[in-house]
Amino acid sequence: MTVITRFAPSPTGHLHVGNIRAALHNWLWAQKSGGQFLLRLDDTDLERSRSEYADAIRADLQWLGLHWDAEAKQSERFALYEARFEALRASGHVYPAYETQQELELRRKVLLGRGLPPVYDRAALALTPDQIAAYEAEGRRPHWRFKLDHDQPIAWTDLIRGDQRFDPKLLSDPVIRRADGSWLYMLPSVIDDVDMGVTHVLRGEDHVSNTATQIQMFTALGAPLPAFAHEALLTGSEGKLSKRLGSLGVAHFREIGLEPMAIASLLARLGSSQPIEPFATMQPLIDSFDFVHFGRAPARFDEGELATLNQKIVHLLPYDAVATRLPDGMDAPAWDAIRPNLETVAGAADWWRIVTGPVDAPAGQAEDRDFLIAAHRLLTDLPFDAGIWRALTEALKGETGRKGKMLFLPLRRALTGLDHGPDMGLLLPLIGRDAALTRLKSAA
């Protein structure tokens, strides 16, 4: 069996971090299994779906490195849905209902007031031809519901949640089509999963009850069931569901300079028993991905943890992986020198400006003036090669008797304008003799 997974976002907005996690997990499972990952745009809501959102979804997935093997749009598959709907109608699996939204809401409130579950009472099935004709005469058009089989218990073994059982009598017959003929999510999703040969449906735990009703739709269509996996939803770092998670997306992550692999490293294992580690490539995440590692405990998303991962990944990146994003003139030795001090690749530009100058060094201490004059004199005569920093500091130590902070800090301040930064042994050769002499003279 070829494993086929799918990511099926609605192009009615931008992807948020929860969507990204679902897409990543579906992609990882397909990659590990040597299968296929499909992108399906669930755009049956023609009023709210936008082409710019669809383009943004594609761009986000590409930036994250989640390539897809095929793409489909539900808005181009209405003929298939119509054919399957008519077959279900002929077999008695769907039926028309004429209640208005206000009538349904009133019934729901009455049931809740009595302490009963707000399950649809199937009143539409008891309508007489005369009642239907009266509704039609007053201009009502029916919405359509899928008729659940109350005699067939719903059960499946979830790849994450284990054995699941639902009593169909406690579920409302789901509305699958509106009175205006437009489709809701439930039935088209099943029809597409069947038609596309989807073998694994991986999504959030908020879809568990949807899965229960959709299982009977698969059966009604005479199709085998895919495997289902429902993972815990993300929560904020404070342990509560956070509205902010709904606004965090690729645009935000790119804006603050995060690497795609930092996002992948965190989201691939968030909610699992596996350690979250920085990875520079996807392959270790692919190799280690397995549903058995995931549990039902809340998956806490922490932006601070993401930032730390990003920093560690930046420190792993070779020059070739970042060359096109570095300032002009910054070569491999410069990247190797600056990389350990970066939180993001974009931060390299700030350190490169320190290399290329000019530098506004803080006013030197009076007691450092003679020391810096000596540094200028010694640097003028010493061979300027890869070992220049060591040679300069050794010569200054021997001449002035300074050591430790008193030796190194005045030099760093004069040469970079800062008290901290990259290894001066690597930085000074990048600054160059002439610029270094100018800075030492200015500071003195």
Task: Compute the radius of gyration of the chain from its Cα atoms.
Answer: 32
Strand partners, 40: 72
CA 244 to chain centre: 14
Which token pair is 29?
A: 């499972």
441 is in an annotated binding site: no
Taking residue 39's Cβ as centre, other Cβ atoms within 10 Å add up to 23
Q: What is the DSSP letter of 300?
A: E
CA 137 to chain centre: 51
Instruction: Give the pairing type, strands 36-41 and 4-7.
Output: parallel
Q: Which of 303, 298, 326 is nearest to 239 (CA)?
A: 298
- Which residue, chain included where needed, has tokens 């009604």? 220
CA–CA distance, 69 with 61 (Å, rounded to integer):
12
Q: What is the DSSP letter of 391?
A: H
Strand ordering across the sheet containing 143-146: 94-97, 143-146, 175-177
Query: Which amino acids are annotated as binding site for ATP, given as ranges?
Result: 243
Query: Which amino acids are annotated as binding site, given as ranges?
Result: 243
